[in-house]
């Protein structure tokens, strides 16, 4: 008899937990069928909040150290060296997307086609129900690959800084859908469309690159289906990347050995002077 009582108590506890989770999901505006995804979403949301606090603290520490190094340069030569290093550090931070940027550019808004249901019904034989209709409907809705396609076109057109829904795009940025939520830099940065992409650069070149015949918007007919709006802006502000910047596995590669020598038997080359070092050239933009 006590086994039945214990089982009943456990069932009541589980039911209460389920109802509490459902209530939380509903209050967040997510449908019950995404309950498993929602729980994972809440967990990741908390992890991101904790990481953001740690990143802010680390960056404050870096700033304090930078200021301390700069203040410690007493001699003229030491002061010059520190200033040069400080300038180089700021340039590297800018290239890495760790500095807020401002300037002219374009604002691109991606949205589902206003005639999505009408087009889907026509292509599914006049019906507005069933798998065929849903498949066709999906073709007139914005997906993560559309955001990626626009970002790539902006890079190719010369964008110097890009953000998607307020998240800075850097070399390691991932843009992907998880259920109804779009994750950017590992953060839930918007659910359903519209999605706003801002890019700093020549507004004329950026708009021209997006509207290029044979480009992504043209191939996917996003302009034809009224799924994209492009606006030139005299001034845009794009925030700094606020995610983790540490690598767990990738390490810098040691200097390549002299031609004809292997890494095991190559003698150590003498250090080059500044005048002897070749000028660095920027590699191709990652797509």
Domain segments of the chain as ranges: 46-95, 101-238
Instruction: Please state, in angstroms and rounded to a whole number, the distance separating the CA atoms of residues 93 and 132.
Output: 49
DSSP string, the chain: -HHHHHHHHHHHHHHHHHHHHHHHHHHTT--GGGHHHHHHHHHHHHHHHHHHHHHHHHHHHHHHHHHHHHHH--SHHHHHHHHHHHHHHHHHHHHTT-S-EEEEEEEEEE---TTHHHHHHHHTTT-SSHHHHHHHHHTTS--HHHHHHHHHHHHHTT-SEEEETTEEP-TT--EEEETTEEEETTEE--SSSPEEEEEES-HHHHHHHHT-TTSHHHHTTTTTTT-EEEEEEEEEEEPPP-S----SS--PPPPPPPTT--TTTPPPPPPPPTTTSPPP---PPP-
More confident position, 280 or 273: 273
Q: Chain-wide mean pLDDT for the chain?
A: 76
Instruction: Mean pLDDT check: name the lowest of 1-10, 80-89, 105-114, 156-165.
Output: 1-10
**Residue 25 · residue 32 · CB < 8 Å:** yes
pLDDT class of 271 with cuts at 50, 70, 90: very low
Q: Rounded to an integer, what distance in angstroms lies between the CA atom of residue 268 and that of residue 255?
A: 10
Tokens of 17: 């937990």
For residue 40, what pLDDT is reported? Answer: 62
* Cα 71 → chain centroid: 36
- Phi and psi at residue 204, to the nearest 5°: -65, -45
**Least confident piece of the model among 20-24, 87-91, 232-236:** 20-24
Q: At residue 236, does pLDDT exceed 90?
A: yes
Task: With 0.75 as the threshold, say if the pTM is over it.
Answer: no
Q: What is the pLDDT of residue 70?
A: 67
Percent of the chain with pLDDT over 70: 68
State the average pLDDT over residues 252-278.
Answer: 51
pLDDT for 58 equals: 73
Where b means 16+ CB within 10 Å and e means fewer, 150-187 reads bbebbbbbebbbbbbbebbbbeebebeeebebbbbbbb
Is 101-238 CATH 3.40.50.12780?
no
Do the Cβ atoms of 99 and 240 come closer than 8 Å?
Answer: yes
Across 18-22, 26-30, 220-224, least confident range: 26-30
**Long-range contacts of the stretch 180-184 (C-beta < 8 A, 24+):** 180/30, 180/34, 181/37, 181/41, 182/144, 182/147
In this structure, what are the phi and psi dihedrals at residue 97, rounded to the nearest 5 degrees? Answer: 80, 20
114 in Cβ contact with 226 (< 8 Å): yes
* Higher-scoring residue by pLDDT: 245, 190: 245
User: What pLDDT is stored for residue 286 in this prediction?
Assistant: 41
């Amino acid at each position: 008899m006590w086994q039945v009582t214990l089982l009943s108590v456990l069932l009541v506890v589980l039911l209460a937990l389920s109802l509490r989770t459902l209530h939380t999901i509903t209050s967040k505006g997510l449908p019950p069928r995404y309950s498993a995804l929602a729980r994972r979403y809440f967990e990741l949301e908390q992890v991101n909040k904790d990481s953001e606090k740690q990143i802010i603290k680390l960056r404050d520490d870096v700033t304090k150290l930078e200021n301390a190094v700069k203040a410690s340069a007493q001699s003229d030569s030491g002061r010059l060296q520190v200033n040069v290093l400080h300038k180089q550090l700021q340039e590297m931070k800018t290239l890495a997307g760790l500095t807020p940027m401002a300037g002219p550019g374009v604002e691109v808004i991606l949205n589902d086609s206003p005639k999505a249901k009408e087009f889907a019904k026509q292509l599914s034989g006049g019906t507005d129900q069933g798998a065929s209709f849903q498949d066709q409907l999906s073709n007139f809705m914005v997906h993560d690959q559309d955001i990626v396609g626009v970002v790539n076109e902006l890079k190719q057109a010369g964008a110097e800084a890009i953000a998607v829904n307020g998240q800075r795009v850097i070399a390691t940025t991932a843009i992907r859908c998880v259920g109804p939520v779009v994750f950017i830099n590992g953060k839930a940065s918007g659910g359903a469309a519209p999605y706003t992409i801002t890019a700093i650069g020549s507004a004329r070149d950026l708009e021209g690159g997006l509207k290029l015949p044979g480009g992504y918007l043209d191939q996917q007919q996003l302009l034809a289906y009224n799924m994209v709006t492009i606006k030139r802006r005299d001034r845009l502000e794009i925030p700094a990347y606020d995610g983790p910047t540490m690598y767990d596995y990738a390490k810098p590669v040691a200097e390549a050995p002299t031609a004809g020598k292997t890494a095991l038997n190559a003698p150590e080359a003498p250090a080059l002077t500044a005048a002897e070092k070749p000028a660095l050239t920027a590699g191709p933009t990652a797509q």
